[in-house]
Structure 1
Amino acid sequence: MNSEQRSAPAGGAALSRRGFLGAGLGMGTALILAACGNSATAGSFDMRGTPSAGGRLRVGLTGGGATDTLDAHLSVNTTDIARIVNLYDTLLELDHDYNLRPGLATKAEATPDGREWTVHLRDDVVFHDGRPMTGRDVKATFQRITDPENPKNGAVDLQPLREIVVVGDHLVRFRLDTPVSYFDRLLAAYTSGIVPVDYDPQRPVGTGPFRFKSFTASQQSTFTRNEHYWHDDQPYLDELTILNFNDDDALINALLSNQVDAIGQIPPALVEVLESDPRIDILNSETGSWTPFTMRVDQAPFDDNRVREAFRLAVDREQMVRQVYSGQGRIGNDMYAPFDRAYSKNLPQRTQNLDKARRLLADAGYPDGITVELVTSNIQAGAVEAAQVFAQQAKGAGITVDIRRVEPTTFFGDDYLKWTFAQDFYYTRDFLPQAMTCSLPKSAFNETHMDNPELTRLVKQATATVDEGPRAELIRRAQKILYDEGGYIVWGFANQIDAYQRYVGGLVPDRTGLALSGFRFRQVWLREAL
């Protein structure tokens, strides 16, 4: 797999494309840094008292391995993301409500034609080694990501970037080949952490809340407080340790035996068990993460939209959420990006209709029913279970599903994007970046092989539209096409469920789909320093 096709927490998904981009402010609107420098959403949650300084936080996660890295732009798995979020900062940030906020930049503005973005940098940021961060470092960072000889994660999204002009130490201009109305959101992606001009991932230096101390791939990594961090009073912790575990059982046992203080992504079925322990709290976050069924619209039987509609009508979405996520999620309506401000609320909610599904199949030439192979894998929690539940539900519509389970490395191997009927996984994203990633003929991850000229036109026009109102209308028209003719069955959105010891403060719900408040450990403190 190339640099844009790297393994996900379960071992195979193309994590770079599953990254999340903020809802943000509209193009051409300045993002002004609050004078206090703190998170804009801190007051909207119960932060469990007044933060106290000191102590060491031990975080347990699964998904690490021999390929673990500290490289700011080559995250491979969950533990990598946890490390880079705390070592490096981005120009803009996503808050816990999934809104775009200032980061290392105080303001981002677009020209009326959307082809140039001017970014104003903070003047009080220093790297871990004491050097001031300047526009030259920003330029070097994005040149590294988009290096045509060695592209990093995020390079696909940044393809329109033509030139980076350093106007001064704290002013940078990004010039694009084509307008991108959500370019500011790309500046908030965790794959765009700012690094110094002479960056060496073997001796990682960033501007993040924690500094590198030690790292052993597949085992653990330790970081110390950045005493010169630009966020007022943050981080509160003296030290952060991220420990790798091989499976969920080992992870949960580590929490219950107090070997760790917090763990990420627990199985939904264990929520009640952990909640019964008076020492443990559950962090349950609604997200836009989705694990769709993917139907190739260019290949029989799914080249007939009546068949695709029949398969969508075969799904009992409430039962899927109840059984696959133990009720810890929300039903979907065959459309991604539920947190996008332009998400259409006028699309009728699909519900299971087995009689109509059978009629559609008969009209499509399958009066006696149809048999299909569904390729599944442990690419994300609940994927295999979803395949099994769908197979049971579909029987009532005359659909026989032969499940073929493969290893994640096989799923994302040479046949990835070629499966006729399969699954996939994405974290929270907004509509336009998600559509550009997976729903157009030239999308890097067009699993359904969608090729609708009107959809392509609408997405590209919306991408180039500065005004939020007209852009939203274009997005809704594009969503209607995908809803009526697309190859995805988006049956639900999973909650992100984590657990932590009750003496841990500052962990709050987060919509991105990443564990433990989006791994923003700069906001975490300990009631009892360990």
Structure 2
Amino acid sequence: MPLAGGPGRRVSRRHLLGTGLALGATGLLAACGSTQPGVSIQPSGNPQPGGTLRVGLTGGGAADTVDAHTPVGTTDIARVINLYETLLYWDDDYTIQPRLATSVTPSEDAMTWTAQLRPGVRFHDGRPMTAEDVVASFERITNPDDPKAGASSLSMLDETVAVDELTVQFRLSTPSAIFDDALAQYMNTIVPADYDPENPIGTGPFKVDSFTPGQQSVFTRNEHYWQDGEPYLDELVILNFDDEDALVNALLSTQVDAIGQIPLALIEVLQTDPRISILNSETGAWLPFTMRVDRPPYDDNRVREAFRLVIDREQMVEQVYSGHGVVGNDLYAPFDPGYPDHLPQRSQDIERARQLLAEAGYPDGLEVELVTAPIQSGAVEAAQVFAQQAAAAGITVNIRRVDATTFFGEDYLHWDFAQDFWYTRNFISQAAQGSLPEAPFNETRWDHPEFNDLVARAREALDEDERDALIAQAMEIEYHEGGYIVWGFSNQADAYQNYVAGLVPNRTGLSLSGYEFRRVWLGEEAR
């Protein structure tokens, strides 16, 4: 199956958009508040099959992929979730639930986890999924010569063994009380033993029809899907947009049916359009500033602390998220049971920031470059607000704005001072992704021996209270010395035409109900 296909293809009865729809900011919200012909009515009753859902997202580029195990940007993640599936998954309330496994249970010493696979699951080409496919999938993810995105969360995995056709054992090198967390991560999906990313076969509700990086992906219904009745859609189309203006304009002109990550400042405005519905979800998603602790001036913790103290967090949440979020305290994983609520809430302290900079050898302030890009709604705005706030402490912030493709290009993870975005995770799985020396996205170059030891011990702790205490200690170290500035947690806001049904709030931080488009269906006018 060739992974090619240009824009302008007709899907069902509606014309798709190609890359970079540049409607511009002029007249962005002209439709809002005006008389709207043919206002749609939200569908009710049982889900109805048929139709094409056109989803608009920003953040894609030439590096886009359909590889099951290497998603990076938002469009990659949306594709992975709809083409492939994990043994377990995080539901809308951020609770682990079964997916391709009906159960995953640990041994008493948590050295062996046994997964019972769901019978009757077939890949897109009709072949049955077996234990051998699961073994091959995890061997591909953890291949030491070419580790994939989820490898760090599986660092304790020593061997994956097919016990029988529908039973798999995960044998670990060290005990892990939270191994099920790793199995629920969207990048640890199951693929056939002979998987080829150029011919992407999975068990997901949709299969690839065409894929053009940075432009659009066209998926069709998987007729072999194991979940009765799902997906309801005949086709799913994911369209890339260069900026938020073009994205919102496409929704208002009914050229797409749903868009992810709308600017939070537009929630109230878009709600005035009777054709449009807003999906507003509280999440643990965060948009940090990242300081490389191995590079000056950020290798001096006094500078890092000063940068954390120049931020007015309430103002940041209000201006960047339009109040649709909560203040952060330089720690991720706010839903983790071990989150240390006892730590003082940081607030702006310009005088103390100036004092710390002087102690670090910058009595007259300093000048830095901050790399930003429209990688997530609010990213560029957050950089601008930070620059304004930091000026009060004598910090001159030169903003270097690049496009998303450049940001995630060869210099990604090498910027001295930049930004990133992360979705909801619990602490240990997030640390494995970004805060340990072997983490694939250790953008701050954080490597603290005591922190590393605490995380390792927490991962092995079978007693929940003991594990939570170890997590709290590790988080306290990162609070005082880490390279992240976690100033807030955003709500996830998306928008869709009223004729779209099946979207519900979701705490994962992923757009549009965690990209679970298998549950979406369309009213009669759209089918």
Give the structure-1-normalised TM-score: 0.84
Which amino acid in 1 is paired with 2:249?
N
2:102 equivalent to 1:106:
yes
2:234 equivalent to 1:243:
no
Which amino acid in 2 is paired with 1:201?
P
Q: Spell out the pairing of 1:52-67 with structure 2 (5 A cutoff).
A: 52-67=48-63
Asked if 2 retains the 8 angstrom alpha-carbon contact of 1:86 and 1:209, the reply is yes
2:390 equivalent to 1:387:
no
1:501 to partner: Cα distance: 0.5
1:90 to 86, 89, 97: 86
2:155 equivalent to 1:159:
yes
1:344 to partner: Cα distance: 1.9
Query: Equivalent residue of 1:483, what SS?
Result: helix
**Which structure 1 segments of 5+ residues have no match?**
1-10, 12-45
Structure 2 equivalent of residue 347 of structure 1:
343
1:318 to partner: Cα distance: 0.9
1:345 to partner: Cα distance: 1.6
2:286 to 287, 290, 293: 290
2:446 equivalent to 1:446:
no
Structure 2 equivalent of residue 264 of structure 1:
260
Distance 1:130 1:78, change over 3 A: same
Structure 2 equivalent of residue 20 of structure 1:
none
1:417 to partner: Cα distance: 4.5
2:135 equivalent to 1:134:
no
CA distance in 2 between counterparts of 1:296 and 1:484 reads 15
CA distance in 2 between counterparts of 1:495 and 1:375 reads 24
Asked if 2 retains the 8 angstrom alpha-carbon contact of 1:375 and 1:406, the reply is no
Cα deviation code 1:17-36 (max 9, x no counterpart) = xxxxxxxxxxxxxxxxxxxx
Asked if 1 retains the 8 angstrom alpha-carbon contact of 2:43 and 2:499, the reply is no
Distance 1:262 1:430, change over 3 A: same
Which amino acid in 2 is paired with 1:286?
E
Asked if 2 retains the 8 angstrom alpha-carbon contact of 1:64 and 1:245, the reply is yes
1:143 to 139, 147, 156: 139
Cα deviation code 1:469-505 (max 9, x no counterpart) = 2101100111111112222211112222211011111
Of 155-164 and 271-280, deviating more is 155-164
Identity of aligned residues (%): 64
Q: Spell out the pairing of 1:117-516 with structure 2 (5 A cutoff).
A: 117-366=113-362, 368-378=363-373, 379-406=375-402, 411=407, 416-516=412-512
Which amino acid in 2 is paired with 1:377?
T
Cα deviation code 1:78-100 (max 9, x no counterpart) = 33322221122110011011111
CA distance in 2 between counterparts of 1:297 and 1:79 reads 30
CA distance in 2 between counterparts of 1:307 and 1:261 reads 46
Query: Equivalent residue of 1:162, what SS?
Result: strand
Which amino acid in 2 is paired with 1:224?
T
CA distance in 2 between counterparts of 1:247 and 1:400 reads 27
Asked if 1 retains the 8 angstrom alpha-carbon contact of 2:263 and 2:377, the reply is yes
Of 423-432 and 220-229, deviating more is 220-229
Which amino acid in 1 is paired with 2:172?
L
Q: Spell out the pairing of 1:28-43 with structure 2 (5 A cutoff).
A: none
Distance 1:345 1:423, change over 3 A: same
Asked if 2 retains the 8 angstrom alpha-carbon contact of 1:48 and 1:506, the reply is no
1:412 to partner: Cα distance: 5.1
Distance 1:331 1:47, change over 3 A: farther
**Which structure 2 segments of 5+ residues have no match?**
1-19, 21-41
CA distance in 1 between counterparts of 2:231 and 2:412 reads 41
Asked if 1 retains the 8 angstrom alpha-carbon contact of 2:461 and 2:467, the reply is yes
CA distance in 1 between counterparts of 2:436 and 2:149 reads 20
Query: Equivalent residue of 2:366, what SS?
Result: strand
Asked if 2 retains the 8 angstrom alpha-carbon contact of 1:282 and 1:500, the reply is yes
Distance 1:449 1:52, change over 3 A: same
Asked if 2 retains the 8 angstrom alpha-carbon contact of 1:373 and 1:404, the reply is no
Structure 2 equivalent of residue 78 of structure 1:
74
Cα deviation code 1:44-73 (max 9, x no counterpart) = xx9965323333222222333444433322
Report how many aligned residue pairs link the two structures.
Answer: 485
Of 516-525 and 357-366, deviating more is 357-366
Which amino acid in 1 is paired with 2:276?
I
Distance 1:120 1:265, change over 3 A: same
Distance 1:413 1:206, change over 3 A: closer
Cα deviation code 1:256-291 (max 9, x no counterpart) = 222221111222232233211100011122222222
Asked if 2 retains the 8 angstrom alpha-carbon contact of 1:47 and 1:506, the reply is no
1:76 to partner: Cα distance: 4.7
Distance 1:452 1:508, change over 3 A: same
Asked if 2 retains the 8 angstrom alpha-carbon contact of 1:67 and 1:76, the reply is no
Structure 1 equivalent of residue 517 of structure 2:
521
CA distance in 2 between counterparts of 1:439 and 1:243 reads 32
CA distance in 1 between counterparts of 2:212 and 2:446 reads 42
Output the aligned Cα RMSD. 2.6
